[in-house]
Each structure stands twice: as C-alpha cells, then as structure tokens.
Amino acid sequence: MHRRRRSDRPWIESCEARRLLAVVTVTGTANNDFVIVSVSGLNLLVTLNGAPTSYPLATTDSLVINAGAGADAVEIASSPVDVTINGEAGNDTVTLAPAGKNLNTITGSVRFNGGPDVDAYVLRDDNSGTVGRNYGFGATEPNDVFRIGTGFHSHSGVESFDLYAGPGDDLFDFTNSFSGTTFTLHGNGGADTFDIYSTPGTSKVIADGGPGDDVVRARPTVTQTSVVEIAASDQVGFLNVTANGTVRLTNHSAVRVANSWTNAGTIDIGDGTLITANGVTNFDELAFQEQLYQGTLGNKPRVISGIAAASSAADGVGLGDGADIKITTAGPFTIGAVDAVLRYTTAGDFDLSGNTNFDDLLRLASNYNSLTDMFFIQGDANYDGGVNFDDLLLLASAYNTSVPAAAPAPIVASGNDQTDDAPNDVLL
C-alpha cells in the first residue's frame, strides 16, 4: 500500500477573521422630522421622532439619512462613522454637536446635501477649549471644512453655514466655496484670524470676530474675488483691503479703525459708518477724497456705498472730521474731534447730520466757485476738488430729505479687530 508522505498533504491557508460592515439607512417621513444621532455604549443610536434604534458600531460602516419632505432637523451629537444627510424637499437644518458644542465628539465625516429649498448647516465648537483651532475651508473640495480632531464636514446645496469657534486664538482659512452659500464665522473671543481668499459667485463670508484682537483679511489672487461683510459694530485695529477684495458694512454697523488702514480694492460703506481714529497710520484724507471720486471706477481703489448705488434716491458717502460735523457718536463709538468719519447719507449733507438742509446750503455758499483743494465738508459734493454749480445741483436733488432711520445695530464686545496682512487685527 502506498502511503502519502507528509509533504504530499494538501496545504490550506488559514482564514483571516473578517467582519461584514453595513450601511445603515434611515428614511424620514413627509412631515417635519427630528433626527438625533449619538453614541450609546458600543452602539450608534439613531432617534427618529422620539423612537430610538441602536446599531452595533462593530458592524456599522456608515449612516445615510434621507430626510424626506418637510422642515426637518438633524442633530449629530456624536459619531465615529461617516454620516450623509440628504435634505430633499423642505427647509432643513443640520447641527453638529448642538449640546456638547465640541466637534471632537464627531470623528466621522458628515456631509449635508441640501434640497431645493432653504437649508442651514450649523457647526458648534464653542467648547473646544482655550487652545486655538485651525479651520480649513475648501482644502479638498470647495465646500468642506476640517480641523484636527474631527472629520471632514462638507455640504452642497446649502444656503447658510454657521461655524461657532471656541474662546482660543482660532484661524479660519477660507480657500474656496461653491456659489450661493452665506458663511458666518463666529470667533467667540480670542485673537482670531480670518483669512478669506475667495468668495465666488453669490457666496459671501460674514466675519463675526467677537471680543479680542482679531484679524480679518480679504486676500484674493488676481483671478479671484473676496468679499467680507461686517454686520455688527466693532473696533478693528487694521483695515487692509487688497486688489479684488471688498470689505462691506451692513446692518447700519459702525466700524472704528484704531491703528492702520490701506485700500487697494473696495471699501463699501453700505448703510453704515466708518470711523478712522486720530493717529491711524497710512491715513490720508486726500486719498479718501480721491477714492470717493473714483467710486464708479472698478479698476482702481475706491470707496463706495452699494446701498446708494442701488438706490434711486439722492444719497451717497459723506466724509468729514469730527470737529466739523454734527454727529458725535456712531453706534457704540464716540467721535473725536480729529477722527475722520465716512458715513452713508444724503447728497450734499456736508455736516453728516443725516439730512440735507439750509445749514448745508450755507456751507456750499461760503465756498462757491472755490475750484481747488476743497473737501466734502466745504461743499464739494462730488469730490472733484471744487465747489460749483454741479455741487449745488446735487444738494438741490436731496434738499430737505433724510436717510432712513437705522434700527439699533448689533454690537460686538470691545476688542481690536484688525484687517491687514500682518498678524494683527485686520479687515481685508
């Protein structure tokens, strides 16, 4: 009998232990749904309209939430797995870390695909600690945000995006975005830096520095544009606007520049007030005059009011020194005698009182036919350096009119926000 030698025996590879991972899909109703995602022990807990369902984390690869119609709210409290939310119809809101307010609890990536209506994406990182965090926008795709310690969080078809940082010295590095989203970045204290490189199409960035010495910089390249809005009254250390960049005041805000300013792009006063404090470096009132005169020239540094440009009323931007104008405050700020003030107002309002009247006519009359070295407060309504019939016509077009009364503008707690390329508080 032939015996098989040991070496003739068939060789069988040992099997590696493997596990099958599942994609969990949760489907909402046609009504207004409320979904909460969290971790409970070794399970992923998904609560839909008050009904919880557990899925073992050991066998769960990712989670997909199809919200369905209705105004749905999805809260991601914590998750180590990737989550995709499809908003579908209705005004939907997705909030990350709503209670703990620390994105470290969400190590998986979260993507929110908005639907055809008005959708909002909110990231709460208020309690991330006093150590500054770096938030990168558009690093891998136009609408993602990432910081170390949490996943990539991205979106599409979302109309509003709010990120609340902690009290540390945070960096918002905004490289790119899709058109159509309004990004509001909340510094929440600390010496935060807002570097805004590109805001394409109808997207925009609102820098809400909060208290502390912040830096806000609009820094587009030659082929990009960058628009930064300031919607709350605030003091900034440095105002610096680069070419193709725009800093725009909205919501009747008052902004005080404390240290330095430069403008190679556009300063849009909007319906607000810009105060340049005494002693600010690089400030030249004649340069302001020239940039106001160049307000219709898009290829040169300019100071404008987009509100006035879009209005059929006789309005624009007025410029004067504190000692020569009638207002003594703007927002929370007291105007010093040697402070320079830019204000949205009516045409020919040479004392910046907010209306054009007989007092303004007297100023113009006292300098009539002075054709050189004239300023706005002396009757030069069109900033061409002289006071003549053209200025009288502008004054007449707004005579006995006033700018609309402003509702109280929100006020940011005191601090030196800066706009500059230097590591100081900056608005660029």
Cα dihedral: 286, 289, 293, 294 (round 10): 70
Q: Which residues contact 144 (CB under 8 A, 6 or more apart)?
A: 137, 138, 152, 153, 154, 155
DSSP code string of 220-239: --TT--EEEEE-SBEEEEEE
Q: Is it the case that residue 301 has pLDDT exceeding 80?
A: no
User: pLDDT > 90: what percent of the chain?
Assistant: 53
Give the domain ranges of the chain.
20-188, 228-428
Tell me how far CA of residue 128 lies from CA of 97, 134, 294, 417, in angstroms: 11, 11, 45, 22
Q: Angle at the Cα of 422 (from 416 to 424), degrees rounded to 5?
A: 20
- The type of residue at 43 is N
114 in the Ramachandran plot: left (φ > 0), alpha (ψ -120 to 50) or beta? beta
Q: What is the pLDDT of residue 17?
A: 42
Q: Angle at the Cα of 352 (from 346 to 353), degrees rounded to 5?
A: 90
Three-class SS state of 373: coil
- Binned at pLDDT 50, 70 and 90, residue 295 comes out as low
In eight-state DSSP terms, residue 407 is P
Q: Is it the case that residue 359 has pLDDT exceeding 60?
A: yes
Question: Rounded distance, CA 263 to CA 428, Å?
Answer: 8
For residues 65 and 35, the answer to whether their CB atoms sit within 8 Å is: yes
Which pTM was predicted? 0.78
Q: What is the pLDDT of residue 195?
A: 86
Q: H/E element holding 341?
A: strand 340-346
pLDDT one-digit tens code per residue, 72-131: 999 999 999 999 999 999 999 999 999 999 999 999 999 999 999 999 999 999 999 888
Question: Rounded distance, CA 63 to CA 80, Å?
Answer: 10
Q: How far apart are the first and last CA of the chain?
A: 93
β-strands 34-40, 73-76 pairing: parallel
Helix extents (H) in 349-413: 358-366, 389-397
Tell me which of 41-55, 107-121, 125-139 is least confident: 125-139
Q: Is it the case that residue 287 has pLDDT exceeding 50?
A: yes
Q: Is it the case that residue 294 has pLDDT exceeding 80?
A: no
Q: Please give the structure tokens belonging to residue 193.
A: 């830096």
Tell me which of 55-64, 170-179, 319-328 is least confident: 170-179
Tell me which of 147-151, 372-376, 381-385, 408-412 is least confident: 408-412
Q: What is the pLDDT of residue 300?
A: 66
Q: Please give the structure tokens belonging to residue 151.
A: 């996943």
Q: What is the pLDDT of residue 376?
A: 93
Taking only Cα atoms into account, the Rg of the chain, rounded to an integer number of angstroms, comes to 28
Question: Rounded distance, CA 121 to CA 141, Å?
Answer: 17
Q: Please give the structure tokens belonging to residue 159.
A: 């109309």
pLDDT one-digit tens code per residue, 18-38: 445 789 999 999 999 999 999
Q: What is the pLDDT of residue 281?
A: 56
Q: Please give the structure tokens belonging to residue 162.
A: 């709010």
392-403 average pLDDT score = 96
Q: Is it the case that residue 54 has pLDDT exceeding 60?
A: yes
257-279 average pLDDT score = 85
